[in-house]
Amino acid sequence: MLADIGYAAIFIAFLAAVYAPFAAWHGVRTKQSRWVQSGRNAILIIFPLVGLACVMLVLSILNNDYSIQYVWSVSSREMPTYLKVTALWGGQQGSILFFNLLLAGFTAAAMARKWDDERAIMPYAIIVASLTLIFFLLMIVFLENPFARIGAVPVEGSGMAYLLNAPVTYVQNLFTRPQMVPADGNGLNPLLRHPGMIIHPPMLYLGYTGFSVPFVFAMAALIARRFNDSWTRTTRRWTLAAWLLLGLGLVLGGRWAYDVLGWGGYWAWDPVENSSLLPWLTGTAFLHSVMIQEKRGMFKGWNVSLIIITYLLVVLGTLNVRGGLVTSVHSFAQSNIGWWLLGFMAFMIFFSIYWVYERRDQLKSDNQISSYLSRESAFMLNNFLFLSIVAVTFIGTYFPVLSELVTGQRVTVAAPFYEKVNGPLFAVLLILMGIAPLTMWYRTSARRLGRMTLGPAVAATLTVVILFILDIRNWVALLGIWIVTFSAMLTILEIARAINARIRSKGESPFSALSALITRSRRRYGGYVIHLGVLIMALGIISIELYQQETQIRLNKGESVAIGDFDMTFRNVTRFPGPDDLMITEATVDLSRDGQFIRSLTPRTELYTRTGQPMTIPGVRSTITEDFYVIVVNFEGTTENAATFRIFLNPLINWVWAGAIVLIAGTLIAAWPDRAEQKIMAGSRAKPRRRYPVGAVTGD
Amino acid sequence: MKTRTKLKRGLLPSIFVAILLVALFVIAGVASAQESTGNVTDDEVNAIAKELYCPVCESTPLDVCATQACADWRDVIRTKLAEGQTEEEIKAYFELQYGARALAEPPRQGFTLAIWILPVLAVIVGGLVFARYIRGLRTAPVETGPNTIQTDFPDQNALKEKAETESDTYRERVERELREM
């Protein structure tokens, strides 16, 4: 019953998505605003409908309704309630449903806003938004139905035949009820039974779907020939939100990997990680270059291309996770939806290129660059570097696919490749990050830049010299630390100069000067805080990449091993059943430094007895200077008097997470509603409400 | 009957040789096993395993992979290290057995050389395109008309910065002219 309501809801949502663009188009053609409104209402209703479907699916999971294939495959009776709820996105069909929910949510929020300023682009926004919605709803309605019953007939054929057979099969399946309902479910993939499951996938999906909003607005503004209007300002906060959420998703994924994957690392340049990083990188480039468009009316074609690329990379990322194009530790479920996603992407590429070409007159630059040494060119260099990293990462991620096509042999492209090629690019980017804020629009004199960078350069050099004397001889580390110190000093000095100016001119206290600065130009100072967060992360990454120590050793009870300043003694092993179908084998080790006992750690292996899948959970002592991270490689025999341990000493790893928190704070500062901006928005809204101006719709 | 004796005569020595061979193998095996656990540390094995990937567990380096297959692979590395093989020889063995995908870094020869060339090409081509774009912007005529409306409200920062820039260039000009005098 619940499943039937759920399926009916997504089916109606699909019909609404198909109806919306036709209604909007008809409204534009016949100049009838009520049709446009109707199209908008159709888009708005999709969100509650998909929401209803999600509630039905979650209820089915909570009710242990194993007659539904999806419920059976991702849950079991003993699973704790929070995991049952998160099982909504724990498998293929459910996660596409959840993806639809977030996509519909973002689209509805964007559509529900007041349209006074941008009435003219609304019908086009409806059309562009519905393209994405139609496709992803089509996925769950016809191809990956989360409400399919157990024993449902699989759809036959592939390609076109598959799509033609799909509706028939689904209608057939709608009326079949399983003969026998399993007593218990298969249970969620053990890798996903983690509190991180609550937050990491939703964040990533929010980031992914969030980027559809700026895409919709950019394309709509372009098609409506309103590209010079305020679309960038309208979408800025959306873009910032999507960017933050995607970034958060990436960091949380790193943290999750660090906590449960048991390899002492947080980022593996895995294809799926890369495909989430790619839109984040292009999004970062966009957030920078869009400022040139706002201030100088330049770079319009470039900005719209960046938004299109970001959107396409999101679709490609979805294809990677869900379609199985590249192999990855994230490929929890795969099916033949890959070709559909590929087809959709091809369509969107064609659609975007067509409109950019068709409306190229809209993208002409209003201004010219007056100097190669200016804020404009600094932003361009920034974009060039970001796009270079995107190109490298893209090539690395998809090269195995290309190689298989050309030579029939798949190759592995892993961390060493990315570190070698992206490392130098990131380094230059970090230097630019410090210098660019010093440049000014139009032109900057080299002398001024030289004067402002001299102090930090000297300070950074001194820092490196001191570190060299303190016996740090890795030149990559020294170079990295020089760059981080240099850029951090520049950023801090830039803030300090502004505070000083206020103290002198207004006689404020340093703290109120800072808060006044932040409230006056949130974007700038939010940006500086983000930069500082990135630098803190960079320092953490440099030290863990270059100074991670590790050892693996077999210890008998009572034996010790030394690593760094630490000694670890193997004390004991216990075995006990955990929640669910878990069997936990836990070692107790004592950690000490210079003979001083610090604390006990309990690394363990968790065996999911039903599926036989083992998990390795590390024991970690985490401090601001380093993490002592120990995992059990294996326990031996039945007596378990001996065990093999793998120990990592990760210096400054916490700086990576701390930097991420600073970055979030900075983004919140930048995205917080500006009082001045709000006043202006309010002013434009205070205009008397008119009926829908039909002429504006058609662009006449 | 003749054939039987012939058989017997042929059989006995071959059984003897077989037993001898088995014994030799067992002894050799025990010896090598002792040697391997005696001399090769886990760290030495991991150092090589870190740079290898098994064909089954995608995207997981061999040193951290928890499956039995990967444990067996690590034992192969251990045995080969005990036999005195170098890191290069062991990697070459895995490449020969399982193809280039077993290596963490694609080999810099043949088709996979492309992955090392492509990024450099992409950066160079991208750089050229960017340079052209910037030059185009530099020489583009400033359009007047409705298109030049960039912001809805004047940006104080931009104005301030513009004034600053102008005074900066002015000062520069004065200084240059002073020098030229």
Q: Looking at residue A683, what is its pLDDT?
A: 43
The arithmetic mean of pLDDT across residues A126-153, rounded, is: 88
Answer whether residue A324 shows pLDDT above 90. no
A441 in B contact zone (CB under 8 Å): yes
Mean pLDDT of A91-95: 87
Distance CA A68, CA A87 (A): 13
Chain B residues in contact with A290 (beta carbon < 8 A)? none
CB contact under 8 A, A377 and B114: no
Could you tell me if the ipTM is greater than 0.85?
no
Contact A614 B66 (CB under 8 A): yes
Q: In this model, does residue B158 exceed pLDDT 90?
A: no
Side chain identity, residue B157:
N
CA B24 centroid distance within chain: 41
pLDDT at position A700: 33
CA dist A289 and A390 (Å) reads 16
Among B50, B165, B170, pick the best mutation site for testing chain A contact (most A Cβ within 10 A): B165
Q: Do A395 and B119 touch (CB under 8 A)?
A: yes
Angle at A568 between CA A562 and CA A570, to 5 degrees: 130
pLDDT band at residue A400 under the 50/70/90 scheme: confident
**Residue A498 CA to its chain's centroid (Å):** 33
Sign, CA dihedral A440-A445-A449-A451, equals negative
Could you tell me the two tokens for A33?
A: 């605003």
Is the separation of the CB atoms in A120 and A24 below 8 Å?
no
A388 vs B126, B147, B151: nearest CB: B126
Q: What is the band of A666 on the pLDDT scale with cuts at 50, 70, 90?
A: very high
Angle separating helix axes B2-39 and B68-82, nearest 10 degrees = 90
A669, A529 contact by CB (below 8 A): yes
The two structure tokens encoding residue A141: 């309605």
Task: Give the per-residue pLDDT at B161.
Answer: 52
Residue A52 confidence (pLDDT): 96
State whether A395 and B122 contact (CB < 8 Å).
yes
Are A65 and A71 contacting, i.e. CB atoms less than 8 angstroms apart? Answer: yes
Tokens of A417: 């490749």
What CA–CA distance (Å, rounded) separates A544 from A266? 10
Q: Is A403 on the interface with B (CB under 8 A)?
A: yes
- Give the pLDDT score at A439: 81
Which residues lie closer than 8 Å to B38 by C-beta, 6 or more apart? none
Q: Of A476, A636, A629, nearest to A541 (Cα)? A: A476
What confidence category does residue B8 fall into, taking pLDDT thresholds of 50, 70 and 90? very low
Q: Between B42, B119, B161, which is nearest A391 by CB?
A: B119
Condensed to tens digits (0 to 9), the pLDDT of residues A611-620 reads: 777 788 899 9
What Å distances lie between residue B159 and A442, B155, B166, CA to CA?
Answer: 11, 6, 10
Nearest CA in chain A to B134: A369
Chain A closest CA to B26's CA: distance in Å? 24
CA distance A562 to chain B (A): 14
**pLDDT-derived band of residue A453, with 50, 70 and 90 as boundaries?**
confident
CA distance A236 to chain B (A): 14
Q: Where are the alpha helices (H) located in A521-652, listed in sequence order?
A: 522-547
Handedness of CA A669, A670, A676, A680 (dihedral sign): negative
pLDDT over 90, % of chain A:
39
Looking at residue A328, its pLDDT comes to 52
CA dist., res. A19 & res. A23, Å (int):
6
- Using CA atoms, how far residue A623 sits from A155, A203, A499, A566, in Å, is 54, 27, 33, 13
CA-based Rg of chain B, rounded to a whole angstrom?
36
With CB atoms and an 8 Å threshold, state whether B138 touches A444. Answer: no
- In chain A, residues with a C-beta closer than 8 Å to the C-beta of B50 are none
More confident residue, A686 or A203: A203
Residue A592 has pLDDT above 90, yes or no: yes
pLDDT higher than 80, residue A152: no
- Give pLDDT tens digits for B167-178: 555 555 555 555
Bridging pattern class, strands A596-601 and A613-617: unpaired
Check A395 against B143: CB less than 8 A apart. no
Cβ-defined contact of A366 to B142 (cutoff 8 Å): yes
Tell me phi and psi for residue A441, to 5 degrees. Answer: -60, 160
Please, what's the largest Cα pairwise distance for chain B? 126
Residues of chain A contacting B133 with CB distance shorter than 8 Å: 302, 380
Say which DSSP state A149 is in.
Answer: B
pLDDT tens digits for A475-503?
A: 999 999 999 999 999 999 989 988 998 88
- Confirm if A83 and A201 have CB atoms less than 8 A apart: no
Please list every residue in chain A whose beta carbon sits closer than 8 Å to the beta carbon of residue B169. 443, 445
Residues in chain A: 700
Per the listing, tokens 């999911």 go with A608
Min CA distance, B50 vs chain A (Å)? 11
Gap between the Cα atoms of A474 and A468, Å rounded: 9
CA angle A138, A99, A142 (to 5 degrees): 20
pLDDT at A244: 93
pLDDT band at A603 (very low <50, low <70, confident <90, very high): very high
Identify the H or E element spanning B171. Answer: helix B156-180
Average pLDDT of every residue of chain A: 85
Distances (CA, A) of A391 to A71, A171, A396, B6: 40, 45, 9, 75
A547-589, pLDDT tens digit by residue? 999 999 989 888 999 998 899 999 988 888 887 778 888 999 9
pLDDT score of A682 = 45
Is residue A183 within 8 Å of A76, Cβ to Cβ? no
Concatenated DSSP letters of B114-144: HHHHHHHHHHHHHHHHHHHHHHHHHHSPPP-
Element (H, E) at A588: strand A582-593
Give me the DSSP letters along B58-85.
Answer: TT-BTTT--SHHHHHHHHHHHHHHHTT-
- The nearest alpha carbon in chain A to B65 belongs to A263
Contact A364 B114 (CB under 8 A): no
Between helices A33-62 and A92-112, what is the axis angle to 10°? Answer: 150
DSSP 8-state code for residue A368: -
How close, in Å, is residue B27 to chain A by CA atoms? 25
Task: Determine the residue type at A86.
Answer: T
Instruction: Enumerate residues 327 to 346 of chain A having a beta carbon within 8 A of any beta carbon in chain B.
Output: 327-329, 331
Q: Where are the alpha helices (DSSP H) in A599-673?
A: 653-671
Which of A65-79, A147-161, A540-554, A568-582 is the least confident region? A147-161
Higher pLDDT, residue A255 or A443: A255
List the structure tokens of A638.
């039945």
Element (H, E) at A628: strand A626-635
Bridge partners for A608 per DSSP: A582, A613
Sequence-ordered alpha helix ranges (H) in A75-145: 81-86, 92-112, 122-138
Nearest neighbour of A377 by CB, restricted to B99, B134, B146: B134
Beta-carbon separation of A368 and B142 below 8 A: yes
Please state, for a pLDDT cut of 70, what percent of chain A lies above it. Answer: 91
What one-letter code names the amino acid at A104? A
Query: Residue B29: pLDDT above 80?
Result: no
User: Given A294, A298, A414, which is nearest B137 (Cβ)?
Assistant: A298
pLDDT band (50, 70, 90) for residue B153: very low
State residue A148 phi and psi, 5-degree precision: -60, 140
Point out the residue among A228, A369, A411 whose CB comes nearest to the CB of B134. A369
**Residue in A200, A65, A40 with CA at minimum distance from that of residue A128:** A40
B77 half-sphere exposure, CB direction, 13 A CA radius: 29
Mutate to test the interface with B, among A411, A555, A606 (most CBs of B within 10 A): A411
pLDDT digits (tens, 9 = 90+) for A227-285: 766 777 778 888 899 999 999 999 998 998 888 777 778 888 888 889 899 999 999 99
- Average pLDDT score over residue span B96-104: 84
Alpha-carbon distance values, A393 to A388, A413, A538, B108 (Å): 9, 10, 18, 18
Q: Which residue in A has a C-alpha nearest to residue B124's C-alpha?
A: A388
What are the helix (H) ranges across A270-323?
271-296, 300-318
Give bridge partners of residue A614 from the DSSP assignment.
A607
Per the CB < 8 A criterion, the answer to whether A372 and B134 are in contact is yes
Name the β-bridge partners of A555: A643
